[in-house]
A and B are shown apart, each in its own frame.
Chain A
Amino acid sequence: MGPWGFVFLAYGIVWSCLLLYLFSLKRRQRKAAAELLQLRSTSRGTD
């Protein structure tokens, strides 16, 4: 593997990992927002 191969391997792994992590954070945020919406509306409903 030539020198550029190693460079792209490193850059590729780093940026894909960071992107994956960002997506996982966004997914967790969406899930928590949905849960909050549901919990808040049901608690208001029982008041």
Chain B
Amino acid sequence: MRETDQKQGRGRTILGVLALLSILVGLAWGLILAPPDAYQGEVQRIMYLHIPTILIAYLSFFIVFVASCLYLWKRERRDDILAYSAAEIGILFTGLTIIEGSIWGKPTWGVWWTWDARLTLTAILFLIFTGYMILRSLIEDENRGAICGAVLGIIGFLDIPLIHMSVYWWRTLHQPPSILRPDKLPWENVHPSMLLALSINFLAFLLLYFYLLALRFRVGEMQDEVKKLKLYGGQ
């Protein structure tokens, strides 16, 4: 067992190094090499953070969903560890997305917050992740916590398309036309070199995400083993 631990550790380190390298390349492209936006100027560079983090937040929720389904089906500890690890990192990325969105909004629209569809949806995702984390922390029994968490993970994921539909309808029906539509996707008129910067940054964040997830998973496994040893003593 010690050998697989070492191999996994080495794999994680490689992943971490790759992530670091692509992050540096991504920063170079995002901050220097990509041109500033014709309308928004330099502030548009926040997009190279914003789009990757929100996509990864949704990816994380998807992983919570898959892990939850697997756990309810097979009841293997590692699926539960994967679920709450993905939830923990997911809530981090969602929170960061909201902060970036807010900072981007201030110079662009003049306000720190607006109830447009995308910001609202990100806030709702954050609330659901938060509910998951608080639920897990308030249920003392480990198995019950895993099952209840899995239920929330599954129902939450199934709800997301409905939440999206309802929030988008809410914001677009009877909406007076305006020149600055905050809910217009920022990547709709994207210059090719911006698209390249975006792709590099997305890859960088993706690698970082999987590195953090692998590390968090390992910590979860170790904490599980600590608990088991404390309860049952020897092998």
Contact = CB atoms under 8 A, between A and B. Distances in A.
Interface string A26-44: 1011001101100110011
B224 to A, nearest CB: 9
Interface string A1-15: 001101101110110
Contacts of A36: 222, 225-226, 229
A9 B106 CA distance: 12
Give the interface residue-count category, chain A. Answer: 20 to 34
A13 B96 contact: yes
Contacts of B106: 6
Contacts of B92: 17-18, 21
B59 to A, nearest CB: 16
Give the interface residue-count category, chain B. Answer: 20 to 34
A43 B235 contact: yes
B43 interface: yes
Given A3-B42, A21-B212, A14 B49 contact: yes
Interface string B221-235: 011011001100111
Given A28-B219, A29-B219, A11 B49 contact: yes
A43 B96 CA distance: 43
B41 interface: yes
A36 B223 CA distance: 9
B45 interface: yes
A40 B218 contact: no
B103 interface: yes
B196 interface: no
Interface in B181-202: none
Interface in B93-113: 95-96, 99-100, 103-104, 106-107
Interface string B41-74: 1110110010001000000000000000000000
A25 B43 contact: no
A33 B212 CA distance: 18
B43 A7 contact: yes
Contacts of A29: 215, 218-219, 222
Interface of A: 3-4, 6-7, 9-11, 13-14, 17-18, 21-22, 25-26, 28-29, 32-33, 35-36, 39-40, 43-44, 46-47
Shortest Cβ-Cβ A-B pairs, 4 listed: A32-B222, A3-B42, A43-B234, A39-B229
Interface of B: 27, 31, 41-43, 45-46, 49, 53, 89, 92, 95-96, 99-100, 103-104, 106-107, 208, 212, 215-216, 218-219, 222-223, 225-226, 229-230, 233-235
